Amino acid sequence: MKFDNQLRNAVTILDLYRGDMPLSVWLRDYFRLNKQMGSRDRKILSALVYGFYRLGHAVRDLSAGERCLAGLFFTSDQPNELLAYFNPGYNERVGLALTEKVAFFQTQPSGAGFRVTDIFPWSDQLSEGIDHEAFCLSFLRQPDLFLRIRPGYESLVRGKFGQGDFIPPFSLRLPNGTKVEDIFTPDREVVVQDYSSQRIAEYLQLDPAPQFFWDACAASGGKAILTHDLYPGLDITVSDIRQTILQNLRRRFAEAGIKNTSPLWST
Protein backbone atom coordinates (compact mmCIF):
# COMPACT_ATOMS: atom_id res chain seq x y z
CA MET A 1 0.00 0.00 0.00
CA LYS A 2 1.13 3.54 -0.69
CA PHE A 3 0.67 4.56 2.95
CA ASP A 4 3.02 1.82 4.15
CA ASN A 5 5.56 3.01 1.59
CA GLN A 6 5.20 6.63 2.69
CA LEU A 7 5.81 5.79 6.33
CA ARG A 8 8.70 3.51 5.38
CA ASN A 9 10.25 6.30 3.30
CA ALA A 10 9.89 8.74 6.20
CA VAL A 11 11.79 6.37 8.49
CA THR A 12 14.47 5.99 5.81
CA ILE A 13 14.88 9.76 5.69
CA LEU A 14 15.29 9.86 9.47
CA ASP A 15 18.00 7.18 9.21
CA LEU A 16 19.87 9.12 6.53
CA TYR A 17 19.64 12.65 7.92
CA ARG A 18 22.59 13.57 10.14
CA GLY A 19 21.72 17.15 11.07
CA ASP A 20 24.76 18.65 9.35
CA MET A 21 22.58 21.09 7.40
CA PRO A 22 19.07 22.52 7.91
CA LEU A 23 16.43 19.84 7.39
CA SER A 24 14.55 21.93 4.82
CA VAL A 25 17.68 22.16 2.68
CA TRP A 26 18.51 18.48 3.10
CA LEU A 27 14.99 17.43 2.14
CA ARG A 28 15.08 19.63 -0.95
CA ASP A 29 18.25 17.91 -2.10
CA TYR A 30 16.87 14.48 -1.21
CA PHE A 31 13.70 15.02 -3.23
CA ARG A 32 15.75 16.38 -6.12
CA LEU A 33 17.62 13.07 -6.21
CA ASN A 34 14.41 11.05 -5.88
CA LYS A 35 12.31 12.50 -8.65
CA GLN A 36 9.93 9.55 -8.60
CA MET A 37 8.30 11.13 -5.54
CA GLY A 38 5.47 13.41 -6.58
CA SER A 39 4.46 16.62 -4.86
CA ARG A 40 1.89 14.82 -2.70
CA ASP A 41 4.49 12.32 -1.50
CA ARG A 42 6.96 15.10 -0.75
CA LYS A 43 4.37 16.95 1.28
CA ILE A 44 3.35 13.99 3.43
CA LEU A 45 6.95 12.81 3.91
CA SER A 46 7.98 16.28 5.07
CA ALA A 47 5.04 16.39 7.49
CA LEU A 48 5.94 12.97 8.93
CA VAL A 49 9.60 13.83 9.38
CA TYR A 50 8.95 17.22 10.93
CA GLY A 51 6.32 15.65 13.20
CA PHE A 52 8.93 13.20 14.44
CA TYR A 53 11.33 16.00 15.39
CA ARG A 54 8.63 18.18 16.93
CA LEU A 55 8.15 15.55 19.63
CA GLY A 56 11.66 16.38 20.82
CA HIS A 57 12.67 14.13 23.71
CA ALA A 58 9.16 12.87 24.50
CA VAL A 59 8.15 9.20 24.07
CA ARG A 60 11.58 8.27 22.75
CA ASP A 61 10.87 4.62 23.46
CA LEU A 62 8.44 4.51 20.52
CA SER A 63 9.59 3.36 17.10
CA ALA A 64 10.44 6.01 14.54
CA GLY A 65 7.26 5.19 12.61
CA GLU A 66 5.05 5.53 15.68
CA ARG A 67 6.66 8.87 16.54
CA CYS A 68 6.11 10.10 12.98
CA LEU A 69 2.40 9.27 13.23
CA ALA A 70 2.05 10.83 16.67
CA GLY A 71 3.81 13.97 15.47
CA LEU A 72 1.57 14.14 12.41
CA PHE A 73 -1.49 13.80 14.67
CA PHE A 74 -0.41 16.68 16.86
CA THR A 75 0.67 19.04 14.09
CA SER A 76 -2.26 18.46 11.69
CA ASP A 77 -5.68 20.06 11.97
CA GLN A 78 -7.43 18.30 9.08
CA PRO A 79 -8.20 14.59 8.62
CA ASN A 80 -5.99 12.80 6.13
CA GLU A 81 -5.88 9.39 4.51
CA LEU A 82 -2.59 8.32 6.04
CA LEU A 83 -3.77 8.85 9.63
CA ALA A 84 -7.07 7.15 8.80
CA TYR A 85 -5.16 4.12 7.49
CA PHE A 86 -2.78 3.72 10.43
CA ASN A 87 -4.83 5.09 13.33
CA PRO A 88 -8.49 6.02 12.80
CA GLY A 89 -8.62 7.36 16.37
CA TYR A 90 -6.00 9.97 15.54
CA ASN A 91 -7.79 10.90 12.34
CA GLU A 92 -11.17 11.34 14.08
CA ARG A 93 -9.67 13.71 16.66
CA VAL A 94 -7.15 15.59 14.53
CA GLY A 95 -9.25 18.76 14.64
CA LEU A 96 -9.39 18.95 18.45
CA ALA A 97 -7.64 21.61 20.47
CA LEU A 98 -4.04 20.73 21.24
CA THR A 99 -4.66 20.16 24.95
CA GLU A 100 -7.49 17.75 24.07
CA LYS A 101 -5.20 15.90 21.69
CA VAL A 102 -2.64 15.53 24.47
CA ALA A 103 -5.30 14.13 26.83
CA PHE A 104 -6.44 11.63 24.19
CA PHE A 105 -2.90 10.59 23.29
CA GLN A 106 -2.16 9.85 26.94
CA THR A 107 -5.02 7.31 26.98
CA GLN A 108 -3.43 5.34 24.13
CA PRO A 109 -0.85 2.58 24.64
CA SER A 110 1.72 4.55 22.62
CA GLY A 111 1.17 7.69 24.67
CA ALA A 112 0.83 6.26 28.17
CA GLY A 113 4.13 7.79 29.29
CA PHE A 114 3.77 11.04 27.36
CA ARG A 115 4.51 14.24 29.23
CA VAL A 116 4.44 17.54 27.38
CA THR A 117 7.42 18.86 29.33
CA ASP A 118 9.58 15.98 28.07
CA ILE A 119 9.61 17.60 24.63
CA PHE A 120 12.18 20.10 25.94
CA PRO A 121 13.18 18.82 29.39
CA TRP A 122 15.74 21.52 30.18
CA SER A 123 13.45 23.97 31.97
CA ASP A 124 16.41 25.46 33.82
CA GLN A 125 17.76 26.71 30.49
CA LEU A 126 14.68 28.84 29.75
CA SER A 127 14.68 32.57 30.39
CA GLU A 128 12.84 33.83 33.44
CA GLY A 129 9.12 34.22 32.87
CA ILE A 130 8.77 31.56 30.17
CA ASP A 131 6.12 28.97 30.98
CA HIS A 132 7.82 25.60 30.46
CA GLU A 133 4.71 23.66 29.46
CA ALA A 134 3.46 26.38 27.11
CA PHE A 135 6.90 26.50 25.51
CA CYS A 136 6.84 22.74 24.92
CA LEU A 137 3.31 22.84 23.50
CA SER A 138 4.47 25.45 20.99
CA PHE A 139 6.59 22.76 19.30
CA LEU A 140 3.42 20.88 18.40
CA ARG A 141 1.84 23.81 16.57
CA GLN A 142 2.56 24.36 12.90
CA PRO A 143 4.23 27.77 12.66
CA ASP A 144 3.30 30.26 9.99
CA LEU A 145 5.60 30.50 7.01
CA PHE A 146 7.42 33.83 6.76
CA LEU A 147 9.04 35.23 3.65
CA ARG A 148 11.26 38.25 3.37
CA ILE A 149 10.71 40.12 0.14
CA ARG A 150 13.99 41.08 -1.51
CA PRO A 151 14.59 44.60 -2.85
CA GLY A 152 13.04 45.23 -6.25
CA TYR A 153 10.40 42.49 -5.97
CA GLU A 154 7.91 44.17 -3.62
CA SER A 155 5.20 44.77 -6.22
CA LEU A 156 5.53 41.31 -7.74
CA VAL A 157 5.31 39.46 -4.43
CA ARG A 158 2.60 41.56 -2.82
CA GLY A 159 0.58 41.43 -6.02
CA LYS A 160 0.30 37.67 -5.56
CA PHE A 161 -1.04 37.74 -2.00
CA GLY A 162 -2.58 41.16 -1.36
CA GLN A 163 -2.27 43.37 1.69
CA GLY A 164 -3.57 41.15 4.46
CA ASP A 165 -0.47 38.99 4.85
CA PHE A 166 2.07 41.80 4.57
CA ILE A 167 4.04 43.00 7.61
CA PRO A 168 6.02 46.18 6.87
CA PRO A 169 8.65 46.77 5.77
CA PHE A 170 9.30 43.50 3.87
CA SER A 171 7.73 40.47 5.60
CA LEU A 172 4.98 38.21 4.29
CA ARG A 173 3.14 35.67 6.44
CA LEU A 174 1.66 32.61 4.71
CA PRO A 175 0.12 29.31 5.82
CA ASN A 176 2.65 26.61 6.58
CA GLY A 177 3.06 24.28 3.64
CA THR A 178 2.72 26.96 0.97
CA LYS A 179 4.80 25.85 -2.03
CA VAL A 180 7.00 28.91 -2.35
CA GLU A 181 9.02 27.42 -5.21
CA ASP A 182 5.84 27.03 -7.27
CA ILE A 183 5.16 30.76 -7.04
CA PHE A 184 8.52 32.52 -6.78
CA THR A 185 12.21 31.92 -7.29
CA PRO A 186 13.48 31.29 -3.74
CA ASP A 187 16.46 33.41 -2.68
CA ARG A 188 16.12 35.59 -5.78
CA GLU A 189 12.70 37.14 -5.18
CA VAL A 190 11.98 36.05 -1.62
CA VAL A 191 13.90 34.45 1.23
CA VAL A 192 12.26 31.95 3.55
CA GLN A 193 13.20 33.32 6.96
CA ASP A 194 11.46 33.29 10.33
CA TYR A 195 10.11 36.63 11.50
CA SER A 196 12.42 36.96 14.49
CA SER A 197 15.46 36.60 12.22
CA GLN A 198 14.07 39.19 9.85
CA ARG A 199 13.76 41.68 12.68
CA ILE A 200 17.54 41.79 13.06
CA ALA A 201 17.31 44.40 10.30
CA GLU A 202 16.23 46.87 12.98
CA TYR A 203 19.63 46.53 14.65
CA LEU A 204 21.60 46.75 11.41
CA GLN A 205 20.45 50.26 10.49
CA LEU A 206 23.84 51.77 11.31
CA ASP A 207 25.25 55.25 10.83
CA PRO A 208 27.84 55.34 9.46
CA ALA A 209 27.25 52.28 7.33
CA PRO A 210 29.50 49.29 8.15
CA GLN A 211 32.45 48.46 5.90
CA PHE A 212 32.32 44.71 6.35
CA PHE A 213 30.14 42.04 7.92
CA TRP A 214 31.09 38.68 9.40
CA ASP A 215 28.42 36.03 10.01
CA ALA A 216 30.39 33.81 12.35
CA CYS A 217 27.88 30.93 12.50
CA ALA A 218 26.16 31.27 9.17
CA ALA A 219 23.95 28.15 9.06
CA SER A 220 21.51 28.73 6.18
CA GLY A 221 22.87 32.24 5.53
CA GLY A 222 19.59 34.13 5.85
CA LYS A 223 21.06 36.95 7.94
CA ALA A 224 23.99 37.35 5.55
CA ILE A 225 21.58 37.74 2.61
CA LEU A 226 19.54 40.22 4.68
CA THR A 227 22.66 42.26 5.41
CA HIS A 228 23.60 42.26 1.72
CA ASP A 229 20.13 43.59 0.86
CA LEU A 230 20.51 46.40 3.39
CA TYR A 231 24.06 47.26 2.26
CA PRO A 232 24.51 45.95 -1.32
CA GLY A 233 28.18 46.89 -1.60
CA LEU A 234 29.21 45.50 1.76
CA ASP A 235 32.05 42.98 1.96
CA ILE A 236 30.58 39.89 3.63
CA THR A 237 32.39 36.96 5.20
CA VAL A 238 30.53 33.88 6.40
CA SER A 239 31.93 30.98 8.39
CA ASP A 240 30.62 27.80 9.92
CA ILE A 241 32.12 24.67 11.45
CA ARG A 242 30.11 22.46 9.08
CA GLN A 243 31.55 22.04 5.60
CA THR A 244 28.21 20.94 4.17
CA ILE A 245 26.70 24.25 5.30
CA LEU A 246 29.39 26.16 3.43
CA GLN A 247 28.81 24.13 0.28
CA ASN A 248 25.11 24.94 0.45
CA LEU A 249 25.87 28.63 1.05
CA ARG A 250 27.96 28.87 -2.12
CA ARG A 251 24.98 27.66 -4.10
CA ARG A 252 22.49 29.81 -2.21
CA PHE A 253 24.50 33.01 -2.62
CA ALA A 254 24.83 32.31 -6.34
CA GLU A 255 21.04 31.91 -6.62
CA ALA A 256 20.63 35.15 -4.66
CA GLY A 257 22.98 36.99 -7.01
CA ILE A 258 25.45 37.83 -4.25
CA LYS A 259 29.04 38.11 -5.44
CA ASN A 260 30.71 40.35 -2.88
CA THR A 261 31.39 37.64 -0.29
CA SER A 262 34.82 36.83 1.02
CA PRO A 263 35.94 33.21 0.57
CA LEU A 264 33.89 30.88 2.69
CA TRP A 265 35.78 29.09 5.42
CA SER A 266 35.11 26.86 8.40
CA THR A 267 36.27 27.49 11.92
Q: What interhelical angle do 23-33 and 39-54 show, nearest 10? A: 150
pLDDT at 52 over 90: yes
Q: What is the mean pLDDT of residues 39-57?
A: 94
pLDDT on residue 83: 96
Residue 247 is predicted with a pLDDT of 83
Is the separation of the CB atoms in 102 and 41 below 8 Å? no
Compute the distance between CA of residue 7 and CA of residue 70 in angstroms, rounded to an integer. Answer: 12
Q: How far apart are CA 41 and CA 6, in angstroms?
A: 7
Contact predicate 227/259, CB 8 Å: no
pLDDT tens for residues 109-136?
A: 989 889 999 999 999 999 999 999 999 9
H-helix or E-strand spanning residue 123: none
Cβ neighbours of residue 178 closer than 8 Å, sequence gap 6 or more: 145
- 3-35 pLDDT, tens per residue? 999 999 999 999 999 988 889 889 988 998 998
139-146 mean pLDDT: 88
C-alpha dihedral, 131 to 137 to 138 to 142, nearest 10°:
-170
DSSP-derived letter for residue 190 is: E
* pLDDT of amino acid 267: 40
Contact 182, 144 (CB under 8 A): no
User: What single-letter DSSP state applies at residue 141?
Assistant: S
List Cβ neighbours of 246 (8 Å cut-off, separation of 6 or more). 218, 238, 239, 240, 264, 265, 266
Which of 143-157, 169-183, 189-203 shows the lowest mean pLDDT across its residues?
169-183
| Average pLDDT of the chain, as a whole number | 90
Q: What does pTM read for this prediction?
A: 0.72
pLDDT tens digits, 162-182: 656 899 999 999 887 787 888
